[in-house]
Every structure is written in C-alpha cells, then in structure tokens.
A = this chain, B = another copy of it.
Amino acid sequence: MTNIRKVAETAGVSVSTVSRVLNGHPYVREDKRRIVLETIKALNYTQNANAVHLSRGKTNSVGVVLPYLNLPYYGEILQGIAEEALKAGYHLRLYQTNYDSPAELDAFAALRMKEVDGLIVASRTNDLEELKGFMEGDRPIVLCENLESESLRSVYIDHYQAMGRALSYLQEKGYRKIGLCIHRLSGKNSEDRMRAFREYRGIEIRNEWIFTGCYHMEDGCRVLREWMNLKERPETLVVTSDQVAAGLLSEAGRRGVSIPQDLALLSFDNHPISELMGITSIEVPSRSLGREAFRMFLEEGRHRSVLQTTLFERDTV
C-alpha cells in the first residue's frame, strides 16, 4: 500500500511537496519536483481517488439519470453528455431507472452523499417536490424538461409548441382525424405534448386513437394492427419516436396498408432511420440536448435553455 507519505519519505520531502507536484501547484523547486516524480514512478504510486474526493469535497463526476439505455433518444442524450464531460474532465455515473421510483431516488441519494457533483435527469418519474428534498447547496440538478425554478436548471425542447406545429402541418395537408403514439402519459414532456394535442382546435381526436407504451419498433407493429382493428380509424398518427414510426411503416407494408394514403405518419426525432425509411419527422436535437445539459451543469448562471425543433418533410404525410 504505497501512499503519499511513503513517497514523501523515500523522496526525502514532505507530503505537501508531493501533493504540490501531484496537483501541479507552483512553488516547488525544480530538483525537488524531479525527485518526487522519479520516486512516484519508482514506487509505482497512484493517488487514491476516494481520499482526494473526500478531502476536496468533490468527485469530478456527474450522475446521469435515465429510464432506458437501449433507446436511441437516451443513447443520444448520453452521448452528448459524454462528449462534453470528456472535454471538461468529468466522469459519468449512470443511474438507469426503468422508471422505477426507488432506483431514481438512488441517484438523488448519491448526490446528497457527495458521490456526484451534480445530476442530469433525462427523464424522471418521481415528484419534483420529493426530489427537491435531496438538493445540496451548490450541487446543480439539471432536468431535461420545461421547468421554471429558482433552484433547478432546465434544458428542454418545447414539446407543447412542437406538437402544435405537427398538428398544424397535418391540418394544412388536409388531415382531420388524428391519433397519437406516445411513450407514457405521465412526465412533464409527455404532459406538454398531450396538452397541446388536446387543446388543438379544428381536428378530431378520440381516446381510442391514443396509443401509449410506444418505445420500440415492435410497439409500432402492434399499434398498426390495433389501428386496423379499429371501426373508426384516424387518417394519421403523430408518433413520438422514429423507431415506433419505423415499426408502423414496415408493418403497414406487410399488411398492405398504404402510407400515407390509408394512414399518414408524422414522427419525432429525425434519427437516421427516418431518413432511411422516408419518414416525415420533426427533429428533436437529443444529442445537443445532452451537450447543453452538461454545459448547464458546469456553468454557473444560466438556468434555462430551449432547443428548437425542425420539420423534415418526407414521404409519410
């Protein structure tokens, strides 16, 4: 167990001198610095991160809270966070929650326990007030949702606006009967989308045209079959992820449903698959969302940031 004291002793200097060269502090004579460096190498010494963290009171790492890892949307957010973290010399601790409340609280507990310097929450299931209880003075929490708060930081896409835009685009194209494929009904982002959907005027919507639990391609296939079994069908579906839209589209091909003649599809994300399959999609800049979330964690001051969406017209509307 070779520690800083041993290095100091064998190098014939004090621990503080060793600490200074370790941390690149000034005021160390060149010859001492050199002998310390040599001793470190000779003893094959490495700092103990936990001791450093304890002493410094921070860990240079940030926790990322997300429900699933195998969904492109979260993969991209994570990638964006990772890119910025790498630049800033931060590391990521992952809290994959499956929207399980205790698993999510775990991440917040880690914050209080000073295991992470801050938290980026890509999506959550716990109540905001509950979560606020875990706040620690200067340890930022960034949420990827539209939020007004003194204490929390928020990077988001205006899903209310994006949904409104989707609907007005469909309306312009002459569609009236509109259905929806959505991940879940709870959660700020989903609620914003739902609200926009329900409040929009001049279209026909029905509860049985709203399909929830749509995450993967398979869900898209399932929804198309359900759509076929409907007595009264919507003419078009707004789909909150490209993966699901891809499932819908390909199942439609198999079942002889013409897109967009029988059913139009307007999707969100604009990931490569939508371009590949010619799916009209509204880009949600998830990678940028991740990047921005990390920057917001790092920088003091900014507490709120909106990212813009872009419509890509292709062949499914």
Contact = CB atoms under 8 A, between A and B. Distances in A.
A-side interface size class: 35 or more
A75 B73 CA distance: 11
B53 A82 contact: no
Contacts of A190: none
Given A95-B91, A277-B250, A50 B54 contact: yes
Interface in A22-53: 46-51, 53
A101 to B, nearest CB: 13
A148 to B, nearest CB: 26
Contact of A110 (B51, B72, B91): B91
Chain A interface, DSSP helix/strand/loop, else mixed: helix
B82 A94 contact: yes
Contacts of A210: none
B91 A49 contact: no
A294 to B, nearest CB: 13
A299 B159 CA distance: 45
A86 B91 contact: no
Nearest to A59: B50
A114 B247 contact: no
A13 interface: no
Contacts of A272: 216-218
Contacts of A94: 64, 78, 82, 91-94
A44 to B, nearest CB: 9
A224 to B, nearest CB: 12
A35 to B, nearest CB: 22
Interface string A292-315: 000000000000000000000000
Contacts of A217: 272-273, 276
A207 interface: no
A79 B75 contact: no
Contact of A46 (B82, B92, B112, B250): B112
Contacts of A95: 91
Interface string A109-122: 11011110000000
Which 5 residue pairs across A and B have the least CB separation, nearest first? A49-B113, A49-B115, A50-B54, A50-B53, A92-B94
